[in-house]
Amino acid sequence: MAKITKLKTPDILGKLKGPGKSHLGIDIGSHTIKIVELRSTPRGMDLVHHAMASTPPGGFQVSVVAAQLKEMIQEGRIKNKQAVIGLAGKGVAARRLSLPNIPEEEIKEAIRWQAGELFPFSLGDAMLAFQVLSRDESGGQTKQEVLVAAATRETVMEHVELLHQAGLEPVGLMAEPHALEQLWRNTNLGEGEEGSIAVLDLGARKTSIHIFHGRELQFSRHVPTSGDAFTMALTGMIRAGEEEIELNTAQAEALKRQYGIPSVEDRGKTTEGIPLSQVAVRMRPVLEKLETEISRSFDYYAFQFQGETITRILLAGGGAQLKGIESFFAERFDLKVGFLDPLAPIIFQDSQAFSELDAATRPVFTVAAGLSLPIRERFNLLPLDLQPHRKRWSVRAPVAYATLGLLFLFPLGQYAWQSHRQVASLRSAVNIKRTSFEQYKYIFQEYDRVKAENIQLDARLAELPKLDIRVPKLAAALRLISQKIPENMSLTNMAFEKKDEGGLAVRMRGLIHGEKEDAFPMLTTFMEELGKVKIFSDVELESAGEQKDARPAVLVFEIGCNLE
């Protein structure tokens, strides 16, 4: 594997205060469970624990995954019981939204009101976390771009129960984009970089595309093409010389891990005798599909942020270990491609636990490392009533009477608080309505402007000479006549004359070849067929007779009709 990209080590000791404070960052993937514990020390950040194990098969079953997590904690002798876990599954979604410029305390309600249809589940009781990405004051109306993460209450409670069954105390729940954003900000990744950096987190069931500019996360998207798709492409019958070998899922996975992405020109073979060129051919459609999805994301980003260009790609996740993936992306996108090392920029280099962790494995811990950093409360999807309570102050005797007196004022304070909430809610609703009104006002102004332009265009159009629409009718008439002419008949001349009462008079002259006894029946049939067409009327035979010259024809005729 190519050398891990190590970025400038920032001084983040001042950012991560609190002696010895730490928690576990837990990332539950489709194939592996990752745990990272970071702790602030006088020398800087230290990697205290890291662990990785296979995710139990059978999907996300709370009791089964909790048992695996508990076993990992016991085997790693991890004593810390506070944990932040990354949310996964269909009940979690992240979207980039464009909202009116309203105060941040009103954004959540605005999201529930205006953006509910953009999420795959109801936002009624969902937990929301957001980050304001940018504000745009162009076009006469201020708006802001917001990255929103949402999780259903069911998904939140499943992960809370998972931690409880594993003997852990939930400190926070975070969506993947915000975990990566937290890592990016705390480690100053990309600081001073010209252009934007794309982070491709290549997982088993999905590939996550995150684009950063400076310290800001500006784009986040998930696509279904991932590591499992490569495995499925190799599963089944595959030719090995004169024989065919059937690979099951486990064998295909092992083949993928051992040989990665070979070239179609590769003349080597696997230990089973399978040509590497055959492996490349089987994997090529998946690679092209993944490339297409990533290209679409890059194109959308370039459209949304005009002038911003992506200058580098960093690979993370389990798929980053696939041999040849770095050179494939470098060739296809013509960009610098490296591997995201989430720990090297923040851990002092002689840390014992850090030195024991293989550099090629560190990109797998990217999300877990972001979860293990001090959590930003705005990213926390754990409900407030489930977050650890602050240490309570004991009430001593001298203040007992004062406390008793305050209890009498409690109903009044409760009433005032409820009134304040109602007023705040009404103010938020009014602001949202006012914003909507401003939007509609702008639309109506545009409508009036377009309407005035239409009136001017109609006036100019009236001054233009009217078009003669006979040409399309003539084209249609000629096409119909050509369709009705029998095989042994040919037209030698056609004339059109405008009639006083409207329409055109048509004169057709032609020849009939073949047998004499078939000539008149053929001519009669042709006239009947013309008469059935609505645009022809008064179809009459004006003359018919034998051919006089030397051309081989048995009948010469002239037909007249009207073209409506």
Nearest to 271 by CA among 283, 258, 282: 258
Look over the chain and give the mean of its residue pLDDT values, rounded to a whole number.
81
Please tell me which of 175-184, 185-194, 239-248, 432-441 the model is most confident about, judged by mean pLDDT.
Answer: 175-184
Structure tokens at 172: 């926070």
Cβ–Cβ contacts within 10 Å for residue 423, how many?
A: 10
Residue 432 lies in a domain: no
In which band, very low, low, confident or very high, does the pLDDT at 52 lie, cut at 50, 70 and 90?
very high
Over residues 469-495, the pLDDT tens digits come to: 444 467 777 888 888 888 888 888 888
pLDDT, residue 337, reads: 93
User: Tell me, what's the pLDDT at 405?
Assistant: 62
DSSP string for 268-336: -B-TTS-BHHHHHHHHHHHHHHHHHHHHHHHHHHHHHSTT--EEEEEEESGGGGSTTHHHHHHHHH-SE
Least confident of 50-54, 367-371, 456-460: 456-460
Q: Which of 86, 87, 92, 31 is nearest to 59 (CA)?
A: 31
pLDDT at res. 407: 63
Give, for 243, the enclosing helix (H) or strand (E): strand 243-247
Whether residue 3 has pLDDT greater than 60 = no
| Share of residues in the chain with pLDDT > 90 (%) | 22
Q: Look at residue 138 in the predicted model and tell me its pLDDT.
A: 62
Nearest to residue 35, comparing CAs of 57, 61, 65?
Answer: 65
Q: Among the three residues 285, 306, 339, which one is the final residue of a domain in this structure?
A: 339
Asked if the structure places residue 513 within a domain, the reply is yes
The Cα–Cα gap between 505 and 520 comes to 23
Confirm whether 384 is domain-assigned: no
pLDDT at 199: 94
- pLDDT of 462 > 90? The answer is no
pTM of the model: 0.64
Instruction: Please indicate, yes or no, if residue 280 is contained in any of the structural domains.
Output: yes
| Higher-confidence position of 435 and 31 | 31
On the 0-12 / 13-18 / 19+ scale of CB atoms within 10 A, 343 is buried
Alpha carbon distances (Å) from 163 to 86, 198, 533: 11, 32, 80
SS3 145: strand
| Last residue within a domain, chosen from 274, 309, 339 | 339
pLDDT at 391: 39
The residue with greater pLDDT, 15 or 201, is: 201
- Is residue 390 domain-resident? no
84 or 414, which is more confident: 84
pLDDT value for 551: 59
Task: Give the least confident one: 30-44, 60-74, 90-104, 196-210.
Answer: 90-104
**Nearest to residue 37, comparing CAs of 5, 90, 76, 68?**
76
Determine, yes or no, domain membership for 380.
no
Average pLDDT over residues 343-368: 84
pLDDT tens-digit readout, 326-347: 999 999 999 999 999 888 888 8
Residue 425 has pLDDT above 70, yes or no: no
Say yes or no to pLDDT of 537 above 80: yes
Sign of the alpha-carbon torsion through 435, 439, 442, 444: negative
Tens digits of per-residue pLDDT, 279-309? Answer: 888 889 999 999 999 999 999 888 877 778 8
CA atoms within 13 A on the CB side of 225: 15
pLDDT of residue 392: 40
**Per-residue exposure over 18-55, b if at least 16 CB sit within 10 Å of its own CB, e if not:** eeeebbbbbbbbbebbbbbbbbbeeebbbbbbbbbeeb
Strand ranges across the sheet with 32-41: 44-54, 32-41, 24-28, 82-86, 169-174
pLDDT digits (tens, 9 = 90+) for 211-251: 998 888 888 888 888 888 989 988 988 877 778 888 899 99
Tokens of 150: 């949402």
Residue pointed to by tokens 């309600």 = 109
In this prediction, residue 7 carries a pLDDT of 38
Q: Given this model, what pLDDT does residue 395 score? A: 41
Q: Please tell me the predicted confidence (pLDDT) of residue 99.
A: 83
Across residues 168-173, what is the average pLDDT? 93
Confidence category of residue 15, pLDDT binned at 50, 70, 90: very low
CATH number of the domain to which 483 belongs: 3.30.70.60
Domain with 200 in it: what CATH number? 3.30.420.40
pLDDT of residue 25: 93
Boundary (domain end) residue, out of 320, 339, 358: 339
Q: Is the pLDDT of residue 1 over 60?
A: no
pLDDT band at residue 159 under the 50/70/90 scheme: very high
pLDDT at 437: 67
Q: Which domain holds residue 268?
A: 191-339
φ/ψ of 366, rounded to 5, equals -60, -55
Q: Is residue 305 part of a domain?
A: yes
What is the pLDDT at residue 142?
74
Number of domains in the chain: 2
User: Confidence band (pLDDT; 50, 70, 90) for 110?
Assistant: confident
Amino acid at 490: S
Residue 284 lies in a domain: yes
Which candidate, 68, 86, 91, places its Cα nearest to that of 24? Answer: 86
Q: Which of 5-9, 127-131, 435-439, 556-560 has the lowest mean pLDDT?
A: 5-9
Q: Reduced to 3 states, what is the DSSP secondary structure of residue 228?
A: helix
